[in-house]
Chains A and B, each alone.
Chain A
């Protein structure tokens, strides 16, 4: 039986529709090209609040939440930040729903000493309005700003050193969390990489702990970081998490969402263009017409304001590992698409958003994060692309950086990457010095900028992908030098890019167009 998510193009096939930054383009691909589409959205839970209550009362691997509570205890609730889901979900955010139910339970049990920490680690601090939107008005009005705040991984007074794991990883966490009687982690799991030990062990840690696994060596070890069972990064994160769990009392509440990123006028993006209805074809033409005529700022504004209609597909609670395996299984159920055989040439559109540019432009380093990082790693088992194969991406690769969020990225890209793009050299020679710039640290701590270490981490995020992929050709770049700094080749059209890719591919290459917007993962047999 043929896989409904895989389509082989013939001479009558419609052009493929894909993102190129904040534009949508149509491209003609050769006959025989294999196109992979995400699975349709899994049905959402009918009563999410009931599911949350059930999860916290019937947790995996530990006693129910109510049994852990006693009057007078100190509770820290840590919450995932705005880096997921993408795009941000419509209200009510699942995190707000969980918080409301948990806080009611804490109130009923006489727990009054409560702090809520946004577990940002080295991500940018969320803005007041973003936090309000995420946690809901009720929680915000009650706790902001004294008892609801962003974690500051640079404030020594807010950190507590726990010790070293057997493998020598240093563990330093939020002092409020360490000194609490109970940590409740409210997670939203968009992809299998998220959640589990990564929640507390990364979200609430300091740079000392991040350095243990956010380095090129660890990022290259094992398989995809989207499959926690194979990933070198997760092995380190799990060691740290187990070390923490022995010392702290942690209760996880994890939730999963389906892949309904778009509805209404953009729902067609998840479908095979051959299956578009007449109305969807009209919507495509209208969208192309409008986006083509709008200035970039207007296109970005439209997409920034868009909120995704995700549905909650599962809520799981309890002990870290016992709870998380159910979460990961639910993610796989939504995302995994079985594919026969790897590709010699992979074609992928790069969208306007990544976890690190919510409300900002996707800068060149983040283009790399998607092309060599996330989209390379969205597989279980073998990568979709053969080792040494060519990936073709579509993106303008504009030399633009958001002043507020990505100030350190600019210097990293123009000063550091132009000297070397070697991950290990960057790590050894440049990272420490660059990341101690007091101005950038100030922007992270008191503004809304990513930490100066973050661009280095994002480059390491692509380490395995760069090593695996032979070439990367970008179609639609508005300049030559940004792709050159990223190590990309440029092509004026998709036809030319495929011709260039074939030069280093075997005869009659397997060409695959992988559509990762909405999210999917490939499982190559």
Chain B
């Protein structure tokens, strides 16, 4: 287990707004998304990527488990993991019904965690849950999109500070992710609205494309999950990446390209 002492609480406070300030409904103006670097609006089109299962083989559970397993002391870690385990049936039920509810319930396990803990474990969590779990073909696909002049956008239910690191690593232009609500320097266990999941991703993509002047019919979308069908449906060029069974069936029905990124590039 990794334990890391927090050193820079000021940075964490800057990163997370206090409760009551994070009511933005427009994802583009909300703080849970952002550009990696300023860019001129010269892209011909955009490529929207889901992350968990699409570019990395892990999912939100890995992030949650990593944080729970790396609490300030082993006793607290054991308690957090036990609490998460007890919630497993509820989470499975939620996952089967609605991805957004699943995200909200999963991140409730962060309730009470200090903000600086979140930040000081961010790099390790990113390495564990994303960097080391990156599919071999992910970089190749993103590079190809960049080479074609696409604006690359990561849109995921993952936490924003992890997405920021992933975007920097992959060279993505923009990311949209979930943000934990902070009150008195501690997580409330709630997510800042809008919760990025399912149909909300589609709405955020439409808004992003409108803002950036992209023609959605020319935009590309990549996801592995049936829950992202709304997101894949709003773009003109969807693709199923390492798809689950339901998405594979749909991709075959609609003749969407099906690609695998778990093969060596």
Contacts and interface: CB of A to CB of B under 8 A. Distances in A.
Do A and B pair up? The answer is yes
B239 interface: yes
Nearest to B44: A433
Given A446-B260, A446-B263, A401 B255 contact: yes
Interface in B148-176: 148, 150
B54 to A, nearest CB: 12
Contacts of A401: 255
A439 B257 CA distance: 7
B111 interface: no
Interface in A1-23: none
A438 B144 contact: yes
B88 interface: no
Contacts of A443: 257-259
A442 B261 CA distance: 9
B255 A439 contact: no
Given A437-B220, A446-B263, A446-B265, A410 B144 contact: no
A450 interface: no
B260 A447 contact: yes
B252 A438 contact: no
B47 interface: yes
Tell me what chain A mostly uses at the interface: helix, strand, loop, or mixed.
Answer: helix
Given A401-B255, A403-B252, A439 B220 contact: yes
B154 to A, nearest CB: 15
B110 interface: no
A146 B220 CA distance: 33
Contacts of A446: 137, 259-260, 263, 265
Interface residues of A, number: 18
Contacts of B258: 403, 407, 443
Given A437-B220, A438-B148, A442-B144, A403 B255 contact: yes
Contacts of B145: 438
Interface string B117-152: 000000000000000000001001100110010100
Given A407-B257, A446-B263, A438 B137 contact: no
Interface in A44-79: none
B117 to A, nearest CB: 38
B255 A442 contact: no
Given A401-B255, A403-B255, A442 B237 contact: no
Contacts of B220: 437-439
Interface in A436-466: 436-443, 446-447, 449
A229 interface: no
Interface string A427-440: 00000000011111
B137 A439 contact: no
Nearest to B240: A439
B16 interface: no
B183 to A, nearest CB: 42
Which of A408, A436, A449 has its CB near the most chain B CB atoms (within 10 A)?
A: A436
A403 B265 CA distance: 21
A396 to B, nearest CB: 18
A403 B249 CA distance: 11
A358 B150 CA distance: 34
A411 interface: yes
B226 interface: no
Given A438-B145, A439-B237, A447 B255 contact: no
B257 A440 contact: yes
Interface of B: 47, 137, 140-141, 144-145, 148, 150, 220, 222, 237, 239, 251-252, 255-261, 263, 265
13 contacts: A401-B255, A403-B252, A410-B255, A437-B237, A437-B257, A438-B220, A439-B237, A439-B257, A442-B140, A442-B141, A442-B144, A446-B263, A447-B260
Given A411-B255, A437-B220, 4 more contacts: A401-B255, A439-B222, A439-B237, A441-B144
Interface of A: 401, 403, 407-408, 410-411, 414, 436-443, 446-447, 449
